[in-house]
Amino acid sequence: MPQQLTTPDHASNSDIVFHIRGLTKRYQMGEVQVDALRGIDLDLYRGEFTVLLGASGSGKSTLLNILGGLDTPTLGNVGYGNHDLTHASEAELTEYRRHHVGFVFQFYNLIPSLTALENIAVVTEIAKSPMKPREALELVGLGNRVDHFPAQLSGGEQQRVAIARAIAKQPQVLLCDEPTGALDSKTGIVVLEALQRVNRELGTTTAVITHNAGIAQMADRVIHLTDGLISQAYTNESPISPDQLSW
Partner 1 sequence: MKAMDKKLWREFQGMRMQALAIAMVIGSGVAIFIMSLSALDSLYETRERYYRNHHFSHIFASLKRAPLALVTHIEAIPGIDKIETRVVSYVTLDIGGFDEPVSAHLLSLPSHGAGLLNQLYLRQGRLAEPGRDNEIVVNEKFAQAHGLRSGDQLAATINGRRKTLTIVGLALSPEYIYQIAPGALFPDYKRYGVLWMSRKPLASAYNMDGGFNMVTVTLRKDSNQQDVIDHLDNILEPYGGIGAIAREDQLSHRFLAAELEQLKTMATVFPVIFFAVAAFLLNVVISRLINLQREQIAVLKAFGYSSIEVAIHYSKLVLMIVSVGVLGGIGAGVWMGKGLSNLYTEFFSFPFMIFVLKPQVIIAATVMSVGVAIFGTLYSVHRAVKLPPAQGMRPEQPVLYHRTLVERLRLQRWFSQPTRMIMRHIERRPIKSLLTVIGISLASAIIMMSGFQKGAIDYMIDVQYGISQKEDMIAIYTEPTSARALYSLRSIPGVEYVEGFRIVPVKLRFEHRSYRTTINGIPPQSKLMRLLDTELNVVEVPPQGLVLTEYLAERLKVKPGEMIEVEILEGKRSVIQVPLIGTAKQYLGSNAYMRLSALNRALKEGNATSGARLKVDKQSQQQIYAALKEIPRIAGVVEQRSSIRMFYDTMAKNILFFTGITTLLGAVIAFGVVYNSMRIALSERSRELASLRVLGFRNSEITYILLGEFALLTLMAIPLGWLLGYGLSAYMAFQIDTDLYRVPLILNQDVYAFSALVVIMSAIISSLMIWRNLIQLDMVAVLKTRE
Count of CB atoms situated within 10 Å of the CB of 207: 25
Taking contact as CB under 8 A, which single stretch among the options 10-18, 67-75, 215-223, 236-244 is the one that binds partner 1? 67-75
Beta 75-80 vs 49-54: how paired, if at all?
A: unpaired
List all residues 6 or more positions away from 200 whose beta carbon is below 8 Å from its beta carbon.
none
Interface size with partner 1, residues (CB under 8 A): 37
List all residues 6 or more positions away from 153 whose beta carbon is below 8 Å from its beta carbon.
116, 145, 161
**Binds partner 1 (CB under 8 A): choice among 71, 135, 138, 227:** 71
Measured between alpha carbons, how far is 182 from 180 in angstroms, rounded to an integer? 6
CB 78, min distance to partner 1, A: 14
Please list every residue from 112 through 131 that binds partner 1, using CB under 8 A: 113-114, 118-119, 121-123, 125-127
Beta 32-45 vs 16-29: how paired, if at all?
A: antiparallel
Instruction: For residue 203, give Cα distances in angstroms to 12, 65, 162, 185, 199.
Output: 17, 21, 18, 25, 5
Residue 65 interacts with partner 1 (CB under 8 A): yes or no: yes
Residue 90 interacts with partner 1 (CB under 8 A): yes or no: yes
CB 79, min distance to partner 1, A: 19
Identify which of residues 69 and 242 has a Cβ nearer to partner 1 in the complex: 69
**Binds partner 1 (CB under 8 A): choice among 20, 50, 60, 68:** 68
Amino acid identity, position 210: T
**Binds partner 1 (CB under 8 A): choice among 33, 91, 144, 238:** 91
3 state DSSP class of 91: helix
Residue 106 interacts with partner 1 (CB under 8 A): yes or no: yes
Residue 94 interacts with partner 1 (CB under 8 A): yes or no: yes
Residue 32 interacts with partner 1 (CB under 8 A): yes or no: no
Identify which of residues 90 and 237 has a Cβ nearer to partner 1 in the complex: 90
Question: Which residues face 28 on adjacent strands?
Answer: 33
Residue 109 interacts with partner 1 (CB under 8 A): yes or no: yes
* Angle ∠(118,121,126) on CA atoms, nearest 5: 150
Identify which of residues 16 and 122 has a Cβ nearer to partner 1 in the complex: 122
Order the strands of the 49-54 sheet from edge to edge.
Answer: 101-104, 173-177, 205-210, 49-54, 221-226, 229-235
Query: Which parts of this chain interact with partner 1 (CB under 8 A)?
Result: 29-31, 61-62, 65, 68, 70-72, 90-91, 94-99, 101, 103, 105-107, 109, 111, 113-114, 118-119, 121-123, 125-127, 165, 182
